[in-house]
Amino acid sequence: MKVTDSFLCELRKRNDLAATVSTYMPTEPSGSGYICRCPFHKGIDLSFHIFSDTQTYHCFECGASGDVISFISSIEKCGCFEAVRLLAERVELDPPNEESDDKTALKRARMLEMNLEAARYYRDVLHSDMGKRGMDYLLGRQLTLGSIRKYGLGYAPGGWHDLHHHLKNKGFTETEMAEAALIVHKGSSVYDKFRERVMFPIIDIRGCVIGFGGRTLEKTAPAKYINTDETLVFHKRENLFSLNFAEKSADKRFILCEGYMDVITMNQAGFDGAVATLGTAVTPQQAKLVKEHAKSVVISYDSDEAGQKAASRAIKLFSDIGVEAKVLTIPGAKDPDEYIKKFGSVRFGELLNGLPTATEYVLSRLLTKGNMSDVVKYLAGLTDSEREKQMPTVNVREPDITANSETTVAEPNDDAVEKPVSELSNDEILRMIEKVRKKRGKT
Ligand SMILES: [Zn+2]
């Protein structure tokens, strides 16, 4: 049995979180969930909340949070692969042992454990004096402590061997650390890959830490963000940041953002469908991932030309696989973060609900650019009913009934293509569309 997404869904469904927690701690009902003493820190308050609807937990004292798999992994002090195996056994699902015989699977499990340890280390640093610079930055960006904890954010200190020595003390070898791309080999020496950076752990759908993004706080650093290199467990083209939260989003609408910070601020404002790619343009694999977990997607990229070009490419990718995609355009603010701060999240939600369709978006972009032949080519590629819907947008001029009939029915010559759209009638446009389609048919 392989650890597929559907296997994990089944596993979560059968291992109710509250029931699982109650085998370790006495719980009591509270609201729509349960509360209990936190098993992860010493304290007598009922600070540990179990949310039945999302099947997640959060301790409001120590910040421990996650789902049933991370709960078992933390309480049994094992890697998440082992936690999955334990949970599978409890509900008599075939445990995923086929892979565990395999050397690679063991290596993967070990790498995930090391990533988890690194994430804990970075997190502890952030919440200590050593991480003050990072914490100041995050609070300065108006993230709440709750969001910082929810995302397990951390800080990589400036030394060359901080994480290296920490992991060594935990029993990991230099070869393992280098394979996980946490340290870098240079000649005969090694050093930490991430230094003086705010750390964003990248967590997959199973709740495993598969890699990191690191944002520098140095103005002179060559790269603002760096990510973990490709490893046995980290494939940047096949994962999305915050998918572990977004897949539980109730409205099944993802919001595709450009960066990790955008995702977290959006999440903080209550839009838990926010995700981001991991330093690349959207890939076909990521589009498929969206399709698996959401019904539609809103693309929230920068309003500059580069951002809008990327948005157009993304629309194409999504529409090719049948996912409804819309592009977020924000009036009166430079990005969602600013808009939400100015007008509040209710207004932002209304904005999301009233977005133009992908076709309307592409068409209005082409019309703004004013190249009529591009508009015609685009319209020609649409189905008749789609085009019909769009024609009123294009029909910016009332039909001229006083014009003599010969000019109106005349075949548009190639000059017409150069005319601004406002000077073309629907009739002319339709003829041009026919022409383009005929040409396409021939080739
Ligand atoms: Zn706690």
pLDDT higher than threshold 50 for residue 404: no
Quick one: pLDDT at residue 405?
A: 42
Q: Pick from 10-14, 16-20, 304-308, 363-367 the range whose average pLDDT is largest.
A: 16-20
Q: Please tell me the distance between residue 259's alpha carbon and the centre of ligand 1 in angstroms.
A: 29
Q: Please tell me the distance between residue 27's alpha carbon and the centre of ligand 1 in angstroms.
A: 14
Among the listed residues 302, 296, 285, the one whose alpha carbon sits nearest the alpha carbon of residue 325: 296
β-pair partners for 56: 51
Q: Please tell me the distance between residue 51's alpha carbon and the centre of ligand 1 in angstroms.
A: 15
Q: Please tell me the distance between residue 26's alpha carbon and the centre of ligand 1 in angstroms.
A: 15
Q: Please tell me the distance between residue 281's alpha carbon and the centre of ligand 1 in angstroms.
A: 38
Q: Please tell me the distance between residue 53's alpha carbon and the centre of ligand 1 in angstroms.
A: 21
For tokens 């301790």, the residue is 59
Measured from the Cβ of residue 278, the count of other Cβ atoms closer than 10 Å reads 23
Measured from the Cβ of residue 416, the count of other Cβ atoms closer than 10 Å reads 18
Quote the distance between the C-alpha of residue 54 and its chain's center: 18
Q: Please tell me the distance between residue 143's alpha carbon and the centre of ligand 1 in angstroms.
A: 21
Q: Please tell me the distance between residue 38's alpha carbon and the centre of ligand 1 in angstroms.
A: 4
Q: By the 8 A CB rule, do 406 and 352 touch? A: no
Q: Please tell me the distance between residue 188's alpha carbon and the centre of ligand 1 in angstroms.
A: 42
pLDDT higher than threshold 80 for residue 360: no
Q: Please tell me the distance between residue 49's alpha carbon and the centre of ligand 1 in angstroms.
A: 10
Q: Please tell me the distance between residue 132's alpha carbon and the centre of ligand 1 in angstroms.
A: 22
β-pair partners for 254: 297
Looking from the CA of 359 toward its CB, the CA atoms found within 13 Å total: 16
**CATH class as words, domain 1-100:** alpha beta
Q: Report the C-alpha gap between 335 and 301 in whole angstroms.
A: 8
Write the pLDDT tens digit of every residue in 73-82: 889 888 777 8
Domain with CATH 3.90.980.10 in the chain: 102-234
Q: Checking DSSP bridges between strand 296-300 and strand 253-257, what pairing results, if any? A: parallel
Across the beta sheet with 48-51, the strand order is: 28-30, 33-36, 48-51, 56-59, 65-66
Q: By the 8 A CB rule, do 58 and 49 touch? A: yes
Q: Please tell me the distance between residue 242's alpha carbon and the centre of ligand 1 in angstroms.
A: 22
Domain spanning 238-329 has what CATH number? 3.40.1360.10
Q: Please tell me the distance between residue 144's alpha carbon and the centre of ligand 1 in angstroms.
A: 18
Q: Please tell me the distance between residue 24's alpha carbon and the centre of ligand 1 in angstroms.
A: 14
Domain with CATH 3.40.1360.10 in the chain: 238-329
Quote the distance between the C-alpha of residue 178 and its chain's center: 26
Q: Report the C-alpha gap between 167 and 89 in whole angstroms.
A: 30
- DSSP designation for 324: E
Q: Please tell me the distance between residue 72's alpha carbon and the centre of ligand 1 in angstroms.
A: 15
Among the listed residues 57, 65, 71, the one whose alpha carbon sits nearest the alpha carbon of residue 11: 71
Confidence band for 2, pLDDT divided at 50, 70 and 90 = low
**CATH class as words, domain 102-234:** alpha beta
Q: By the 8 A CB rule, do 194 and 212 touch? A: yes
Q: Report the C-alpha gap between 409 and 392 in whole angstroms.
A: 20
Write the pLDDT tens digit of every residue in 180-230: 999 998 888 999 999 999 999 999 988 889 999 999 998 888 889 999 999
Write the pLDDT tens digit of every residue in 416-426: 455 666 666 77
Q: By the 8 A CB rule, do 93 and 10 touch? A: yes
Q: By the 8 A CB rule, do 280 and 236 touch? A: yes
Q: Please tell me the distance between residue 394's alpha carbon and the centre of ligand 1 in angstroms.
A: 59
SS3 at position 165: helix
- DSSP designation for 219: T
